[in-house]
Chains A and B, each alone.
Chain A
Amino acid sequence: MKFKKMKFYGLFFFLFGFILWGFLSYISYIFLKINNEHLSINNIVKEQIQNRNLYSSSINVDYKNYIETKYEIIKPGILIIGSSRIQYYPEYLFNKKLVIAQQPFYSFEMFYSSLESLIKIHKPDLVILGLDWWLFNENYNKKQSKIYLNTLFDKKKTLEKNKNFLQFTFNELVKPYLWLLERKISPKFFWESLNGKKLNNIGVMANLNQSGYNIEGYYSDSYTINGRKKFDIEFKDTISQIQNKQKDFSEFVFDQNSLEILRKINNLVRLNKIEILNILSPISPTVYKELRKSDYLKNFEKISSELKNFDNFYDLTQKSYFNDCQFLDGTHPGEVLNFINLKEISKINTRIEKFITKKIHNDTIKNNLERVVFKDINLISKKENDFLKIGCKK
């Protein structure tokens, strides 16, 4: 090979690489843009208010600002704070405007700081606090919550304006290819997106699964309820976690500090003359039985006994009227059960009654007793099937 040729080939390889990598990056950008991943938080909220579309992103995870921005615009009468276990409260269950501040709250410290900043923006009339057992677990609080906290809040505030190609980072642009490799998205979806398929939702995952957050924070989960998610069929995944003491069911040591912070949260709300409900969220009957069998239930009982002196505390871990078909998985209750629970609470606490809709009658409840979402009321209700494969009549 002559030197001139060698130089030519060298330059060719470099330029070829440059064009190839540049092209792949640009393709990725186009894909993300079509899926509305380039939108700024302000524009995500604007879009959702105007078009009522869903939002679920793996790129734009500035949840804190997302919640604060929409909270400031909506100025809700009801604020629900908690983990994913409180994300199935649609606004039509209530008489007032609703915002669910779900996602970045992984510890009571975060509950407190978020609530404090949200109350400064606007005072709601009612705060519903979704309590999870792991928030009272010292092992979880010492380690996991801090990891999540730092991961989520280390991020800079996202831009006011939409992102252009050069404002995407390499880590973001490489994600679509990783999703393809991990089979999270199909080549077909990738190709159709690039070919200009009309995608209304915000975020790749929202468009792919037709699932995501509504503007009030309610999670439209058609991906789960029509059986595509294939998680926790017959509650096997949750039961396995309990048996192996995995994830949220890991070794439990009651954290006294959590109790103090919860007390602080309640005082903060009361000082601002806001009604509060402290709810220990429901667990499916089958999973509850497993908890009893594995002796993990004592931890729930410990939490319940520590909280019994709290005003407006409701232990909804297990009630006689629960059935497995009302759950999305072992630990996530659907909107039907959430509504039944609210009605039950309002029987004891009449001050809550005024917040709950009267448009959903007892007959409607009766017709939906084995469902997750209300038939004909919820737009995704037709998609619901026996996704847990436990013989539910849908």
Chain B
Amino acid sequence: MLFNSHLFIFVFLPLFYLLYLVIRIFDFKFKQNLFLGLIILFSLFFYAYWDYNYLFIIIASVIINFISIRYIIKKNIFILTLVIFFNIGLLFYYKYFDVLIGFVTNNDVNFNQIIIPLGISFFTFQQIGYLIELYYDKKKKLNFLKYFAFVIFFPQLIAGPILKSQEFFPKFYDSFKDKKLLRNLLIGLIIFFIGLSKKVLIADNLSVYVNNYYNIAAISENLNLYESWLASIGYLFQLYFDFSGYSDMAVGIAKIFGLNLPWNFNSPLKKISIQHFWNCWHITLTRFTTSYIFTPIIILFNKYNLNFRISILFAVIVTFTLIGVWHGAGINFLIFGILHATAYLVNKSYSFIVSELKLKFLQAKIFNYLYWLITFLFVCFSFVFFRSENLQVAKNIAFNMLNFKSLTFPAFFFNNKYILEFLGFFNAIKIETYIFQNHNFISIIFISFLIIILFPNTKRIAEFIDKCFYIEKPKEIIKILILYIFLFFLSFLIIASILSLNNEVVFLYYQF
């Protein structure tokens, strides 16, 4: 089921909330367990609504992982390793097996012959993370009902955020006693509708144009410098608003029930370095890879007294490569990972040199604009490899992004023969008549850019609204005015988003 559907918003969620209220009102012994059961039931329906054939995979995965718990708490490293291999194997089978067969049999690689079960990466990662934590801290042991509910909790089941068990329990019980029911409901709904409007008003509108450009790149090399950049910026914004919109909706739904899920995005496109970018983009994935890939490698190197810098180098390359490859089996995803690893290392080295050589002037605020621009342009460029269906498409766009020979200007701009003569010495200049034809696309990109740069992110808006509940004797008139303007604007977002639900478009991260 999609969050951005009438069924979810007008039937599924209200019904679930109503049952939650009923369970809360009555005071009986097993009410928390009953709610856990309700979560499982609704989550299974939520999952099965997409394709019930894959229901058994998620149930089997949960059962097998749960069985291993009893051995893992006894520090049985063999079982832990085995069950991690099982999880990775499952992921590997669905995501990479057909590609591998293609390579082995030397046939054309035929992607997506095996349909990937929805959310497999996310519920697999969440379980791996939990089992490793349990190995080190057996107090985190959960019974079957709790474990099942933790893995399958529908707001985060399909595309995260990837939870740690302590983010679900005991907060789950606290939320049950939380008396701020109305506040949670209001803040949760506000977060949900901000996320929904990001998805349906911005990302879905961008997708039409982005898909067109990428389709053109798939059949020809005919995009020029300007169009290639437009396509890549458009896609980056589409992905950001789509995925952060989904994550906001997940956080918002959980908040309605008093649960605070971790935020997955924290204005990553405002960041001034690639290091900061990854701390704020898909935060729970970064946290997962840092905890279970990056840090163990460093510890391993340390154990054998190997060079620390080499350990960092190795850990960064491995971590980012795996992040890239996790997103897809194509070589373009591998390049995406390697590009980010390289950028991360360059970023680290630069910071090191600046601090070692005490080049303080390079840390001046004015340079932050330059650092931001470099980071932003790099991220745009790298995500071309992420979006492209194969390497050829990525090459077509990436090459033209750097190909200043395809620099073109709109004909109306250079409509003067003297300007043309003056510029004649510059061979690269071409006059393109179709340029700037997609006014709508440029407008949406421009509005998206303003939202990214000027507006606070959903996390900050939620914190602001939350604080407003505590205002006893408000003196800060400006804050109150901002709140009123926001509420006025929010009503527009709600109506516009609901009216946009007729055009159901799946979330980009459903494919991972």
Task: List chain A positions with a Cβ less than 8 A from chain B.
Answer: 1-3, 6, 9-10, 13-18, 20-22, 25, 139, 142-144, 146-147, 150-151, 154, 166-171, 173-174, 244-247, 250
Contacts and interface: CB of A to CB of B under 8 A. Distances in A.
10 contacts: A10-B483, A17-B490, A142-B216, A142-B219, A150-B215, A154-B211, A169-B499, A169-B500, A244-B415, A246-B412
A154 B474 contact: no
A16 B487 CA distance: 10
B484 A21 contact: no
B222 interface: yes
Contact of B474 (A6, A166, A170): A6
B222 A17 contact: no
B471 interface: yes
Q: Contact residue range for chain B?
A: 35 or more
Given A143-B222, A170-B201, A14 B490 contact: yes
A150 B219 CA distance: 13
Contacts of A146: 212, 215-216, 219
B209 to A, nearest CB: 9
A106 to B, nearest CB: 13
Interface of B: 200-201, 205, 208, 211-212, 215-216, 219-220, 222, 411-412, 415, 431, 433-434, 468, 471-474, 477, 480, 483-485, 487-492, 494-497, 499-500, 502-503
A151 B502 contact: no
Given A154-B211, A244-B411, A18 B480 contact: no
Nearest to A244: B411
Given A6-B471, A167-B502, A170-B499, A143 B488 contact: no
Contacts of A170: 200-201, 495-497, 499-500
Given A9-B484, A150-B211, A154-B208, A21 B491 contact: yes
Interface-central residue, A2, A14, A154, by most chain B CB under 10 Å = A14
B492 A6 contact: no
Given A166-B499, A170-B499, 9 more contacts: A3-B473, A6-B474, A13-B485, A13-B488, A18-B495, A143-B220, A146-B215, A147-B216, A247-B434
B434 A144 contact: yes
B212 A151 contact: yes
A25 B499 contact: yes
Leading 9 A-B pairs by shortest Cβ distance = A17-B491, A170-B499, A18-B491, A17-B488, A14-B487, A21-B495, A170-B500, A246-B433, A13-B484
B431 A245 contact: yes
B13 to A, nearest CB: 18
B503 A169 contact: yes
Contact of B212 (A2, A14, A147): A147
Contacts of B473: 2-3
Given A146-B212, A154-B208, A168 B499 contact: yes
A289 B503 CA distance: 49
Given A13-B487, A150-B211, A245-B411, A21 B492 contact: yes
Nearest to A20: B491
B407 to A, nearest CB: 16
Contact of B433 (A10, A18, A247): A247
Contacts of A150: 211-212, 215
Nearest to B475: A1
A10 B492 contact: no
A63 B65 CA distance: 53
